[in-house]
Structure 1
Amino acid sequence: MKEQKRQVNLVTAGLLLGLVLASLDQTIVATAMPTITKEWAGLSLYSWVFAIYMLASTITMPIYGKLADLFGTRIVYLSGLALFLAGALLCGWSGSMMELITARGVQGLGAGALLPIAFTIVGELYPPEQRGKFQGLFGAVFALASMVGPTLGGIIVEKWDWGWIFFLNLPIGIPAFLLIALAWRGKTIRDKKPQIDWYGAISLSAAVLAILLALVIGGELHDAWGSWPVLGLFGTGLLLTGLFIWVESKAKEPLLPLSLFRIPAIGFGNIAGFFVSAALFGAIAYIPLFVQGVSGASPAEAGYMLTPLMLSVAVSSAIGGRLLAKASFRAILVPSLVLIAIGFYLLGQLQATTPNSQLLVSMIVTGLGMGAVFPALGTAAQSAVPPEARGVAMSTSQFFRSIGGTMGISVFGTILAWHMQAGMNEVSGMADSTLSAEQLAALADPKLLLDEQLRSALAPESLAAVQHVFSEALHGVFFSGMLLIFISLAASMLLGRA
């Protein structure tokens, strides 16, 4: 019994290290990218360093989940972790922007296994009454690692070479690999020879690729949403989605069993996860933009300003995980989503003159709501299915969250650009402006408002007007996010008695 407990503890430690790995990668790379872009003059390819990783990891999530159900979680998780570490090595050795983008794609292919399969292993290690506690612990570790990432990345870039941003994965990932490989044997799910749904995998991958490419291009290029390439990609994605559904209805071993969506905890849980992720990942990404663009803080100060948010997430994630053993999933989700909606409303009131204390309260309220949502959704998905379907249930839950987050970032970027353009049309007519019409029009891109040289070229009155336009545009982002939270709230109320 002691030996079994020791093995469980070692595997849990390995999974936590893998979680730190996945969390750090989402924040630490962003810190190094300005330096890398400057070194290689690769600004035109900047977004693809993130997009290719996102595309690869999102596409592979449901595939890894099904493979875990067929072949066991141990071999699938270790394979994904090994691929992730190999991609990190290739990133650190890259000698050009194209090489880095290719290596990030390899890393993304491995990353698709890290989160969903880790949570699936938790379902195998612990009984139902303890899963929520460990889901909460994992969420807290993820939040804390996300908070450390930007600061750690800044120190590495400043003191050493940017390649160590990626090499840092090895001293974290190798112990994680060894702990799980040596201590975890996994559970045998099937005795019969497994059949892989290749047609389902190919059609789903193609559908997701088309839709995500449309979102990336639509969110990055000006006035691209109505263009033929974007509309064509969306149309292709919808057709391939229809093909995938047809294939799954005929497959003997479907990649994503359609019957899962008839289970309220999974069907409505995925809807809730999709919209809450769209709101959170889409809107929260703009808090540093407000701090820098409107308040005029430095990038380091903007990073520090997120600390209360991430600490609140860590606290509520740990508390929410423990409550899952005593309360229903719906009882956790509903108040959490209400808190997020209140937080978004408060964020939507921010102005250039808003004191930091008000921003602090807004982020704490939002973070307290965020922490318990994803552990509750993940535990609900696992608890609703038999052991042989845990992998696909968990990866599907993570898949819908990832797609939602991607869509939120793209759509909210467009909303911000629309509001900025409308507001700048008024500012461009200011008679006392010290900038030309072309320069003022360029400020419709919020990234340029972060340029210290461009800010200093504005007269104080003009700068105040532009900051007002920027803050009003961000209000549109936060209020749009609040509407998505209400949709997620409605879906969570339909989870049944789970």
Structure 2
Amino acid sequence: METIQKTASDDTIEASAPELKNRGLLLTGLIIAMLFGALDGTIVGTAMPRIVGEFGGLGLMAWLTTAYMLTSTVVVPIAGKLADLIGRRVIYVTGLIIFIGASALCGMSQNMTELILFRGLQGIGGGIMMPMAMIIIGDLFTGKQRAKWQGVFGAIFGLSTVIGPQVGGWIVDSLNWRWVFYINLPVGILAVILISIALPKHKAVGNVKFDIPGIVTMIVGVVSLLLALTFGGKDYAWLSWQIIGLFVLAIVSLVSFVMIENRAQEPILPVRLFKNRTFTTINGVGFLMAVGMFGAIMFVPLFMQGIVGISASASGTVMTPMMITMIVASIISGQFIQKIGVRKQMLLGMIIMAVGFLFLGTMGMTTTKLLASSYMMILGLGMGLVMPILTLALQESFPKSELGVVTSSSQFFRQIGGTFGMTILGAVMNHKSSVLLEQNLTPVVKQLPAEASELSNQLTNMIHTNPQALYSSLLSPEALAKMPKEFVQHLLPILKDALVSSLHLVFTIGLVFVLLGAVLTLFIGNIKVSDRKPKKDDAEKDAELSTGLA
């Protein structure tokens, strides 16, 4: 263990209770930081074609997203624990400064390798920023007030998803792709100033004990697991030595992490938390919800492009109605929870999500954009009812001394669940498609004339390696317009039939994960949303936590 001396101050975290004088200023800073941090993910996506056009490196393009995802995911639980140990302000401002500095470096990048490295650094700042807003909301407000404000912050996150592509497109077209990153500088500096002024320092006496072995083993384990899930079945076969090696490294590292955490005085993610029914159940619901949600809705734009026949750029807009209903539901969820309670609202939201997946599984050749959008709105309604109260329920169930850890754990398990879902359902999609295309498309491909041998080889290879890319490249209106009519007549029905059948299976499995999450909500205890002010020490909750009965 390494130790450093904590900085003492006359202000304590308790000063950030509801009577805080600068609460309005602090909330403004939190909202600004949340908005520009959340916008970054969707804005950057619109700049990728321009980036590749300038730097080349098409094969490395996926790393612009992967590098950010890896670092932002792994740093979340570390940030939560450090916020408990050395205070909210120093951790939050550090994350903001890292994010701002990395954004500037991204904008100044001269090649793809530099940009990927700086995106990874930016992910560290983003991974610190995202849970800190919810942690501070837990400090600022009573339980009932938290419900409202966490719904508002959830709505801000959803809003960023809606406006991000439009803002990014405007920046790229009007200025330069580098301004997608530079725009973070003035906004981020304003957030740093507001939060530094309004958020009190944390008073602490004694030494902070950093769990360095735990941090190292967790980083190695989580990064290895995420890399294996990200590249398995795409860049490398599941049984390749690269993927097997990553899984083995992940298992060894995570087992070592658990052993280290059992002995650590200040563990990053205390193992004893997993003995607590509330902790495991709520994070289990969040994990299962994310598996189904992120793993299935990523395929809706593919359906809209391949079956409905809209352009690749326009297919992303089908997600907007879902995000709008999620925003509305997030805002009203704070008021709704007062009437029906945590468990009932969580169950209701999961059931509504299940209904949305059920309808998605009925989409076929005649489905219109309007109908698909209405199904997505149902899904968004369920998401908006569930997502804000996952964090709220954890904060209400644990003492103040654990607030950072349990709050960050909620986001951590959801991010892991999203990656797991995209991997599992992506593998299901590819396997089902490969079987159907091998049966029905391969005989047609073999009948192509000799002058089309290059195309025939490409199609055969994509059938076995990447059916999703096959759908995207051949079923778009732009691609179909360039193909001979006879070829389209033979090819199109087979491709569409395989895509619909594969997506039906994907949405069905997504439905199963959501239903499992709904069943798990039945085991959540009777969590009451309190009206009392947060306290640093809560003897009753500490006793429950230690016995694992909460």
- TM-score interval (norm. to shorter): over 0.9
One-letter identity of the residue aligned with 1:255:
I
Residue in structure 1 matched with residue 403 of structure 2 by the alignment: 390
Write the mapping of 1:370-409 to structure 2, written as runs, cut at 5 A.
370-409=383-422
TM-score by length of 1: 0.95
Is residue 2:142 matched to residue 1:120?
Answer: no
Residue in structure 1 matched with residue 506 of structure 2 by the alignment: 477
Residue in structure 2 matched with residue 182 of structure 1 by the alignment: 197
Residue in structure 1 matched with residue 251 of structure 2 by the alignment: 238
One-letter identity of the residue aligned with 1:475:
H
Rg larger in 1 or in 2? 2
Residue in structure 1 matched with residue 468 of structure 2 by the alignment: 446
Is residue 2:326 matched to residue 1:323?
Answer: no
Which deviates further from its counterpart, 306-315 or 15-24? 15-24
Alpha-carbon shift at residue 4 of structure 1 (Å)? 5.0
Alpha-carbon shift at residue 349 of structure 1 (Å)? 1.5
Is residue 2:25 matched to residue 1:10?
Answer: yes
TM-score by length of 2: 0.86
Is residue 2:359 matched to residue 1:359?
Answer: no
Is residue 2:308 matched to residue 1:286?
Answer: no
2:75 to 33, 47, 60: 60
Alpha-carbon shift at residue 67 of structure 1 (Å)? 0.5
One-letter identity of the residue aligned with 1:244:
F
Q: Flag structure 2 segments of 5+ consecutive residues without an equivalent.
A: 1-14, 528-550
Deviations 1:396-438 (A, max 9, x none): 1111111111111222222221122112111222387686532
Is residue 2:122 matched to residue 1:103?
Answer: no
Q: What is the root-mean-square deviation of aligned Cα atoms in Å?
A: 2.0
Write the mapping of 1:36-185 to structure 2, written as runs, cut at 5 A.
36-185=51-200
Is residue 2:387 matched to residue 1:368?
Answer: no
- Quick one: distance in 1 between partners of 2:258 and 2:64? 31
Alpha-carbon shift at residue 186 of structure 1 (Å)? 4.5
Alpha-carbon shift at residue 264 of structure 1 (Å)? 2.1
- Quick one: distance in 2 between partners of 1:351 and 1:151? 29
Alpha-carbon shift at residue 492 of structure 1 (Å)? 1.8
Alpha-carbon shift at residue 270 of structure 1 (Å)? 1.1
Q: Is the 8 A contact 2:104 2:182 kept in 1?
A: yes
One-letter identity of the residue aligned with 2:468:
P
Is residue 2:459 matched to residue 1:430?
Answer: no
Deviations 1:432-491 (A, max 9, x none): 768653243336532343335643324234223212212222222211111111221122
Q: How many residues align structurally?
A: 495
- Quick one: distance in 2 between partners of 1:56 and 1:495? 31
One-letter identity of the residue aligned with 2:513:
L
- Quick one: distance in 2 between partners of 1:220 and 1:94? 28
Q: Flag structure 1 segments of 5+ consecutive residues without an equivalent.
A: none
Q: Is the 8 A contact 1:83 1:109 kept in 2?
A: yes
- Quick one: distance in 2 between partners of 1:55 and 1:267? 23
- Quick one: distance in 1 between partners of 2:379 and 2:211? 41
- Quick one: distance in 1 between partners of 2:270 and 2:339? 30
Q: Is the 8 A contact 1:61 1:396 kept in 2?
A: yes
Residue in structure 2 matched with residue 416 of structure 1 by the alignment: 429
Task: Check 1:461–1:354 CA distance in 2 against 1; reply closer, same or farther (3 A cut).
Answer: farther
- Quick one: distance in 2 between partners of 1:157 and 1:421? 37
Task: Check 1:433–1:150 CA distance in 2 against 1; reply closer, same or farther (3 A cut).
Answer: farther
Task: Check 1:132–1:410 CA distance in 2 against 1; reply closer, same or farther (3 A cut).
Answer: same
Alpha-carbon shift at residue 120 of structure 1 (Å)? 0.4
- Quick one: distance in 2 between partners of 1:408 and 1:475? 16
Write the mapping of 1:477-496 to structure 2, written as runs, cut at 5 A.
477-496=506-525
1:198 to 207, 212, 215: 212
- Quick one: distance in 2 between partners of 1:62 and 1:478? 31
Q: Is the 8 A contact 2:84 2:402 kept in 1?
A: yes
Taking only the aligned residue pairs, the percentage that are identical comes to 36
One-letter identity of the residue aligned with 1:26:
G
Q: Is the 8 A contact 2:144 2:334 kept in 1?
A: no
- Quick one: distance in 2 between partners of 1:283 and 1:22? 24
What secondary structure sits across from 1:220 in the alignment?
coil
One-letter identity of the residue aligned with 2:459:
L
Is residue 2:327 matched to residue 1:314?
Answer: yes
